[in-house]
Structure formats: structure tokens, C-alpha cells
Amino acid sequence: MFLFSYLESFPWVVGVLIMVCLFEIFTIGGVLIVRRFVNIKTLKAHHDVAGFVFANLGVLYAGVARFYRC
């Protein structure tokens, strides 16, 4: 709770930059951890399925964005 009140004291541009940097560090760290502990053959086996999952997420996002824009 203290972190949020501390971040609110910054100008909004600085707060946005801090949040973007934190999320990018989290994302890159997650990728590095997965690459270290998961075998490349396992990742390649799931590569074809990941394309369909991302396509479905894109359709879902488009539908939700269209619903809330109206």
C-alpha cells in the first residue's frame, strides 16, 4: 500500500516509465527463467499450438474492444 502512495507522488510520466520498466523486467526475467529450465524440444513441440492461442486471444481482444467502444 505504501508503494502505491509513493508512486502517486511522482509526476504521471515518471510513474508510467517506472511501471513500464517493472513490467518489462518481469517479462524478460520470465522468458529467461523458462528458457533455462525448459528444454528446446519441448518449446518447439508447443510452437504450433501457441499460434492458435494467440489468434484466439486477438479475436477475444477485438471483440471486447469493440464492445466497450460502442
2, 32: one domain: yes
Alpha-carbon distance of 29 to 23, in angstroms, equals 10
29, 15: one domain: yes
47, 68: one domain: yes
Torsion of CA 49, 37, 30, 28, to 10 degrees: -100
pLDDT of 70 above 70:
no
Confidence at residue 28, expressed as pLDDT on a 0 to 100 scale: 97
Give the residue numbers spanning the domain of 10: 1-37
Tens-digit pLDDT profile for residues 13-63: 888 898 899 999 999 999 999 999 998 888 888 888 888 998 999 999 998
29, 44: one domain: no
Confidence at residue 1, expressed as pLDDT on a 0 to 100 scale: 66
Q: Which three cell numbers stand for residue 8?
A: 502517486
Which residue in 6, 24, 25 sits closest to 15, CA to CA?
A: 6
- The model's pTM: 0.54
